[in-house]
Structure 1
């Protein structure tokens, strides 16, 4: 998809994109969780590298190469309270273990630019933080591209309190390592005077300019500054691109619950109800910018073409309203149908930048409409549209089938219809945990244990780590996702017994293997996930860490063995002395369908 985005954008002369966003996000209240890869560092790095390769291609001078930008450097996703632009205060170890690695992977993938964040990091605004912009990014990682500020983040050094005026902000931003000032205009208005007054060495300005020019040279922009305008007529929204958009949407859907309702019977009559069933604009999601809603095919349009008179549509309610004026029409549609599909959730402008929420329930009176529909006794499928995990405990208890559809884009309707009727099976897996309550946030699977862990997730376990009024586990964990068949996992086996010295030198490795079997009656695709946990180390390690996954498609009754290779790279962490090292440990491994499942095996890794 990133390659297609680059081909289409460059046909209009766009050679630089402010993507990928590689911020790790552990708090669903934060609206920008929708832009990134979720809560896991390992997965975040893989997705960052894939975006970079897709956008930039194999040759930056190619007319279809679009420069990537890793953002928002760094730890923007750890905003306190999930409130956008808010303070971030995390330790060096957490930065090194959690928030920095995806950016480092982007550098290793060859990303051309970085964007500095809005937030503070350990009391210093990210756009004036020389430690991370220069010492780490360029000194440790060898980054050779340039850094652009986020929108006005140089100007925002003033309200942050570290700059008194635009001149002060320009000086601190440039000397920290931000080469390009986006929108604040502080560099353009102040740098000349700073040099003339002797407060800023001209060589610092020259170095920043050289970094920008180096990238332009690498892209061949001086030799070929113009775009072939005729490409736009042939490269945008081609049949192949639209097919990929549909396939990408299909593979993003996550089936959260299914009590034998899905897939729908081909001859079923369907009541389609909800404010998102026919909303072209909302399917685009936030940051669509020039996306045109008229290009979107909605679920209503697709089902109308497929079912004809067997489709009974009613909007029912608006996304955010208390009015029940549409309830009667919706309930009448239910009476005429065999099964009900409810299209509920957020609008496109409820997730994204500045859209932080303290309540993650279905907005407005959507749950009340859902309750009224369920009272009719017909089978119900809830399609939840959103840019983030929602709190759906009531829905998970009462609705027989739930599909998380996010904002699926131009081909929303065809992708959803094919999934509902079983022409394709859901294969998506959650990249962020779904909370039971906002009171659990931030919530993430790879947390540290406590000194008083509770034996279960039940509420009110006095003097143990629990909540008085809520279970501690997520409603749906990281990595979770159902399909239209079932799978069974064997216990994992560990093959090999390297020691720390061999792992640290790069000569040692071992494998973890397990057998996965399709125990259902339909073909299906499973994502087998490898998790590890280390004990006996110099610092506490997460209760589980994702270290690999493999996607496999199995026929009914078919089994296959998955094998994962582990090396020192996967086992190393920032230890007590802040060294990235492998330590002697008791290692537990799981091959599992999600972060809370699977059987385990344990081994000792000795010095």
Structure 2
């Protein structure tokens, strides 16, 4: 009976999907893609066999790939390189991803152009998440710069290098909002905030694709991922169920995708997770109703790695054939890695279960992307082994990596102005599992860069000081395990030093895909090391290595200074030294809230008040708080110190009245009374006091990076319009409602700064 039930369900869903697709405005969708196709390319569709069409929808991992690429995805059957060349000859493969450079691409493309019947160029894709051979800070770290220009420049450099190696398409940027720090994959995004997520999505798309159009030989097509709400996985467990309201989707998780598409991203990737019971990879509401009909997206949808195959494990499809049908009719144009489309679509089309028009539509979208990339005009435009050597790891790119690294470091604490350190006359002890060696530097999800080409902390510090012999280094402990005699050696080194740099935190493998954690604290072996080092009484700077927000407790909080140094890439050591010794002033801010406890997760600043908020002051009974602590962050979103002394004053809201068709000028004075130059990230937050849908306690609406010389004061001005106050109201429609609003111009999401109120009339 069970098999009959599943079979009947499959028949009903299949028939319903075909009917729904047939009733959709297919001709309009076809025209969107067709308008971008030259007549000669359009004519190819009519010449293709069904199997050749399905080949255009089949993307596989490159058989000729490096060890890093093989390690980053689950083990699955992969053809040999000769077998993939045979698939190219017969038109059964649209391209490969994470391959081994320009020479591999040249050999494959040559076969396509000389030996394939229709000579359709191949598409070469890769995971270029935060750099190619020159590695930049992880995206979450770089988001802390609150600098769209920096994000665009690093994405541009990554594209210049990747395109020189034959790559046409990158599976980036990840634009998922991540509000549970147990989820390791938040390291690939921009953190917890909607505005920052939108700004970074836009910047990274523009950087990857460049300003000269996708036909430029240094442009790569962007892919906004993962559509949608991958970052909302229950309990922060990767790949887990997502069950949230349509309002939350529209208000929080959809907008960064819309920003990426507005910036020109021609592709998107369906997410692994189910969404309110229906996996995203087979979700017609998500991939057709919202993406196609409502937003008018005419580009390509690709599955994530074996995403269509995973419909079976989800319990949504009975077998591979049904999984193929459900994913394809829902709107997934291209299948990655499972091979399901080339295996099962021909028979589904032959039996009338998938309309030929839907198959042609998907093929047209693939060919449109190839045409946009200029591959029909010159299939080898990005394939040049000589150019590959010239464009990678250039002096300019390494300089940019160092700049981006320094501008991503967040200073949480600096008691007594311990930092910056003097470059001479001081004995410095570097202690911890992250102080030396070409390891744990570049972070997760880098296919082509390596720690072996990165610069470690010890090298960076010794290069910065006048007498390198005064710098010593001791590991003290492993990342999760004690080292025999390690703490004793660390205590001796600390006792003999004038200042200690204690580098502790997470390994690269503790963040990233499939690296969810039940405890986001520092491993006990390192806490024991920190306890012993701090007991010496020597001034200590904690250099936190991490890929997520972390719980910081004693003894770490007893350190005089704390820097969040993330995974900074190729120039990790020099970038950190630039901040430590004052060659650059820290200017980054936290893109995620650092909680008091793991048990607070998911925690994010833009939460609701509830009907029983705890009043200011001590914890009260029968209020929305935990027994053990406040419903707040230890270090909130937006927090970060500088080497200046920054004060906020003189809030000016004009008349405090905003008309629906007007603008409100918001001004505040920002003063640096210190003796060092500083860059302050000035943030504007609002709270809608009473609305038809309850609103968050604060929402970031604008920010500015403001450079201040010692003793300088500047008036910072923001412009608020009614549209900035828009939210998703009843009926899940955007609305703006008159009423009272609180406003803060402040250095973080939980700081008072200067604040007041205004009225929207």
The range that moved more, 435-444 or 263-272, is 263-272
Aligned residue number for residue 609 of structure 2: 449
Aligned residue number for residue 30 of structure 1: 183
Q: Distance in 1 between matches of 2:394 and 2:485?
A: 41
> Is 1:483 matched up with 2:607?
no
Aligned residue number for residue 505 of structure 1: none
Instruction: Give the alignment of 1:48-67 within 5 angstroms.
Output: 48-58=201-211, 59-67=213-221
Aligned residue number for residue 601 of structure 1: 756
Q: What are the superposed Cα offsets for residues 541-565 of structure 1, whole Å, 9 maximum, x if unpaired? A: 1111011101111112211111111
Q: Distance in 2 between matches of 1:54 and 1:147?
A: 21
> Is 1:294 matched up with 2:452?
yes
Deviation of residue 281 (structure 1)? 2.6
1:2 aligned counterpart, secondary structure = helix
The range that moved more, 276-285 or 316-325, is 316-325
TM-score if structure 2 supplies the norm length?
0.77
Name the CA shift for 1:57/1:279 in 2 (closer, same or farther; >3 Å): same
Aligned residue number for residue 475 of structure 2: 315
Q: Distance in 2 between matches of 1:499 and 1:241?
A: 45
Instruction: Give the alignment of 1:63-462 within 5 angstroms.
Output: 63-226=217-380, 227-259=383-415, 260-267=417-424, 268-305=426-463, 306=465, 307-395=467-555, 397-456=557-616, 458-459=618-619, 461-462=620-621
Q: Distance in 2 between matches of 1:155 and 1:18?
A: 19
1:579 aligns with one of 733, 737, 745: 733
1:187 aligned counterpart, secondary structure = helix
Q: Does the 8 Å CA contact 1:496/1:509 hold for their aligned counterparts?
A: no
TM-score if structure 1 supplies the norm length?
0.97
Deviation of residue 457 (structure 1)? 6.6
2:627 aligns with one of 449, 455, 468: 468
Q: Distance in 2 between matches of 1:582 and 1:335?
A: 61
Q: Distance in 2 between matches of 1:292 and 1:323?
A: 26
Deviation of residue 492 (structure 1)? 2.5
Q: Which structure is higher in helix share?
A: 2
Q: Does the 8 Å CA contact 1:492/1:589 hold for their aligned counterparts?
A: no
Q: Distance in 2 between matches of 1:183 and 1:223?
A: 28
Q: Does the 8 Å CA contact 2:476/2:483 hold for their aligned counterparts?
A: no
2:731 aligned counterpart, secondary structure = coil
Deviation of residue 119 (structure 1)? 0.5
Q: Does the 8 Å CA contact 1:457/1:472 hold for their aligned counterparts?
A: no
Q: Distance in 2 between matches of 1:534 and 1:491?
A: 22
Q: Distance in 2 between matches of 1:303 and 1:250?
A: 13
Q: Does the 8 Å CA contact 1:393/1:475 hold for their aligned counterparts?
A: no
Q: What are the superposed Cα offsets for residues 400-457 of structure 1, whole Å, 9 maximum, x if unpaired? A: 1100000011101111111111111111100000011001110000111110100137
The range that moved more, 74-83 or 328-337, is 328-337
Name the CA shift for 1:189/1:4 in 2 (closer, same or farther; >3 Å): same
Deviation of residue 458 (structure 1)? 4.3
Deviation of residue 496 (structure 1)? 6.0
1:525 aligns with one of 679, 693, 698: 679
Q: What are the superposed Cα offsets for residues 154-196 of structure 1, whole Å, 9 maximum, x if unpaired? A: 0011111111111111111111111111111111111011111
The range that moved more, 297-306 or 56-65, is 297-306
> Is 1:494 matched up with 2:662?
no
The range that moved more, 204-213 or 274-283, is 274-283
> Is 1:570 matched up with 2:730?
no
Q: Distance in 1 between matches of 2:559 and 2:618?
A: 23
1:132 aligned counterpart, secondary structure = helix
Deviation of residue 486 (structure 1)? 1.5
2:503 aligned counterpart, secondary structure = strand
The range that moved more, 332-341 or 564-573, is 564-573
Q: Does the 8 Å CA contact 2:658/2:721 hold for their aligned counterparts?
A: no
Q: Distance in 2 between matches of 1:309 and 1:529?
A: 43
Q: Does the 8 Å CA contact 2:534/2:555 hold for their aligned counterparts?
A: no
Q: What are the superposed Cα offsets for residues 475-501 of structure 1, whole Å, 9 maximum, x if unpaired? A: 100000001111111143223666665
Deviation of residue 231 (structure 1)? 1.1
Q: Distance in 2 between matches of 1:500 and 1:561?
A: 24
1:492 aligned counterpart, secondary structure = strand
Q: What are the superposed Cα offsets for residues 26-57 of structure 1, whole Å, 9 maximum, x if unpaired? A: 01100001110000011100000000000011
2:599 aligned counterpart, secondary structure = helix
Structure 1 runs not aligned, ≥5 long:
503-507
Q: Distance in 2 between matches of 1:167 and 1:324?
A: 56
1:549 aligned counterpart, secondary structure = strand
Q: Distance in 2 between matches of 1:567 and 1:363?
A: 47
Which consecutive aligned stretches of 4+ in structure 1 deviate over 4 angstroms post-superposition?
A: 496-501
Aligned residues: 600
- Supply the RMSD in Å over aligned alpha carbons: 1.3
Q: Distance in 2 between matches of 1:417 and 1:173?
A: 50
Structure 2 runs not aligned, ≥5 long:
1-153
